[in-house]
Amino acid sequence: MSAQLLEALAAALNDGSVETVDLTHTLDPDFPVIVLPPEFGQCARFRMEEVSAYDHRGPSWKWHNITISEHTGTHFDAPAHWITGRDQPQGHVDEIAPGRFLGRACVIDCSEGAARDDDHELTPEAIAAWEAAHGTIPPDSWVLMRTDWSKRSGAAYLNMREDGAHSPGPTPEAIRLLVEERGIRGFGTETVGTDAGQGMHYTPPFPAHHTLHGAGRYGLQCLRNLDRLPPTGAVLMAAPLKIRHGTGSPLRVLALVPRSTDNGEATA
Ligand code: MN
């Protein structure tokens, strides 16, 4: 049975009836990283330095050294990233079982709200409305919060004001519902973090980090192309680099989806 299933998947990838959507931003020195208050350590932007380029430093080859934070660009948050997850088993990226990197995704479209309000919240009511249309979120799903925020760039992406960043995210009640009642595997966003820009003002502060990682679940952020995914039916592949005792990692996030002309039927 499973051999036939893999054969069918391989055929569908070859003939294009299953498409691969790239949910990853290009790593670039200009891509914004989260900015913390100045008393804290800061996340490094991506940097790339040429080692040789078919020249005297290496006549037949070209390569680069790169510098990066675990939390730069499109990246994965492991449980050990947050103090609530510090004692979770398999809490670092090198310890997570590889099967956890492949799984179904549910996409909640919050783009209308986020267009009206930079601080738009994903609430339990919004989850209930999504479930009324698409069914209960299955256990062990990735839940992705679509906001179209990835279409912003530069200063508008971090959207810093005098009182800090303003960007959408989940309320404490919404993330508790997803983790404790739906048993999700992880939560992904298009913004620079899994929490809202003003997430420090919730109780607990940064509820997505607090609750997800305290329960051994994962985060994905700086995703893009969520508008190309159906609400249900996509399979996500998100495998972080195997960094010893790493708390997160840049990665290439891919989604397998039914060919877009099929999406209407596939999600009806
Ligand atoms: Mn992170």
- So what's the pLDDT on residue 155? 95
For every residue of 158-190, DSSP letters joined together read H-EETTEE---EE-HHHHHIIIIIS--SEEEES
Catalytic: 25? no
Ligand 1 centroid to Cα of residue 211, in Å, is 14
Averaged confidence pLDDT in the chain: 96
> Would you tell me which CATH number, out of the four given (3.90.1300.10, 3.40.50.720, 3.30.70.1880, 3.50.30.50), belongs to the domain 2-43+69-258?
3.50.30.50
* Model confidence at 265: pLDDT above 80: no
Ligand 1 centroid to Cα of residue 172, in Å, is 18
* Tens digits of residue pLDDT in 179-218: 999 999 999 999 999 999 999 999 999 999 999 999 999 9
* Model confidence at 264: pLDDT above 90: no
Q: Average pLDDT, stretch 21-36?
A: 95
Place of tokens 């986020």: 114
Q: Where are the domains of the chain?
A: 2-43+69-258
Half-sphere exposure (CA, 13 Å, Cβ side) for 101? 19
Split at pLDDT 50, 70, 90, the class of 266 is very low
* Model confidence at 268: pLDDT above 80: no
Q: Average pLDDT, stretch 48-60?
A: 98
From first CA to last CA, the distance across the chain in angstroms is 27
Q: Which of the following is catalytic: 25, 71, 75, 81?
A: 81
- So what's the pLDDT on residue 1? 75
- So what's the pLDDT on residue 160? 96
* Tens digits of residue pLDDT in 139-190: 999 999 999 999 999 999 999 999 999 999 999 999 999 999 999 999 999 9
* Model confidence at 267: pLDDT above 90: no
Ligand 1 centroid to Cα of residue 182, in Å, is 23
Split at pLDDT 50, 70, 90, the class of 262 is low
Place of tokens 């998100």: 238
* Model confidence at 261: pLDDT above 90: no
3-class secondary-structure state, position 249: strand
Ligand 1 centroid to Cα of residue 216, in Å, is 15
Entry pTM: 0.95
> At a CB cut-off of 8 Å and minimum separation 6, what does 248 contact?
70, 71, 75, 76, 77, 78, 81, 93, 240
